[in-house]
Amino acid sequence: MNNIFIIGVGLIGGSFALDIKTLYPTCTVFGIDNSEKHIEEAIQLKVVDQSANFEDLGKADLVIVAIPVDATLAVLPKVLDFVSDQTIVFDAGSTKEDICDVVRTHPKRRNFLAVHPIAGTEHSGPKAAIRNLFKSKTNIICEVEETAFKLQEKALKLFADLGMRIRYMNPKAHDKHIAYVSHLSHISAFMLGKTVIDKEQNERDIFDMAGSGFASTVRLAKSSPAMWAPIFKQNKSNVIETLDEYIDNLKHFKQLMEDSDFQAVYDEMEKTNHIKDILNGIQ
């Protein structure tokens, strides 16, 4: 691959760019972003080689769309309008059903691969881009059968070169499962942070007592609202379902406390400790 286009030169797009430049040192990586500042910063940091626009996409071998999911709905059909028949396009969005639907009848649907790399940090922008972000991470691919086989191979080779593990899933199942393991944890972090900030207004010493446990729990609350609000919007029904279940569990725990049933509190925590075995099994 000679000409690589990254649309959205932040954490995900920029990290793809850095690894691609290492894997394919003779390629040229072009950046497209609606922020001129981000493009300038990405070039200065050598995340991308030069800026480009949509009209340049005709010469692309690969296009990676790494922008908020609401923007992807508008941008992805436009990208497919410009690319050649030999170009593979994939997105990196955290929701998949709406994105797959928006290009379902596009004449170049065969050029698109719906992808969700389970990787990232709480940081954003070109400065957040890091090498080896995707190494040993799971990459979920949806509706692979809708993508031309020869174009699939280009993307799958890249993912293999990046050291990613591949998992295939249909878009509806993806969005339901990711609401539990990703979207709910972000909401929990945001709301825990809000609870503490609201309390801190009256108790100024609260953050002096915050240790590593608090910091790690609310780390996700530093994530970009510009990225996460559209995700919650697109996955609204699944997120609401997971919130209902989560709130029920919180209410149950609160009731045990009110009843002074601390043996049941202990039992609930001990039962949940099993998550250590589950998480260790997927490392």
Q: Which of 53-62, 126-135, 153-162, 189-198 has the lowest mean pLDDT?
A: 189-198
CA distance 281 to 206: 36
Cβ neighbours of residue 221 under 8 Å, at least 6 residues apart? 122, 186, 189, 190, 192, 193
Tell me if residue 129 falls in helix, strand or coil: coil
Residue 201 has pLDDT above 80, yes or no: no
Rounded to the nearest integer, the mean pLDDT of the chain is 93
Query: Quick one: pLDDT at residue 202?
Result: 61
158: enclosing H helix or E strand: helix 149-161
User: CA-CA distances (angstroms) from residue 85 to 54, 57, 92, 114?
Assistant: 16, 11, 21, 17
Query: Quick one: pLDDT at residue 217?
Result: 83
The larger pLDDT score, comparing residue 217 to residue 259, is at: 259
Encode pLDDT of 92-106 as tens digits: 999 999 999 999 999
Residue 225 has pLDDT above 90, yes or no: yes
Query: Quick one: pLDDT at residue 98?
Result: 97
Beta carbons of 12 and 66 less than 8 angstroms apart: yes
Tell me if residue 170 falls in helix, strand or coil: coil
Query: Quick one: pLDDT at residue 198?
Result: 82
Query: Quick one: pLDDT at residue 204?
Result: 63
Angle at 33 between CA 153 and CA 218, to 5 degrees: 90
Tell me if residue 35 falls in helix, strand or coil: coil
Mean pLDDT in residue range 231-252: 96
Encode pLDDT of 55-79 as tens digits: 999 999 999 999 999 999 999 999 9
What's the pLDDT band for 280 if we cut at 50, 70, 90?
confident
Residue 283 has pLDDT above 60, yes or no: no
Q: Which domains does the chain have, with CATH numbers?
A: 3-170 (3.40.50.720), 174-281 (1.10.3660.10)
Burial, 33: exposed, middle or buried (Cβ in 10 Å; 0-12, 13-18, 19+)?
buried
Query: Quick one: pLDDT at residue 164?
Result: 97
Encode pLDDT of 104-119 as tens digits: 999 999 999 999 999 9
3-state SS of the chain: helix, strand, coil percent to 5? 60, 15, 30
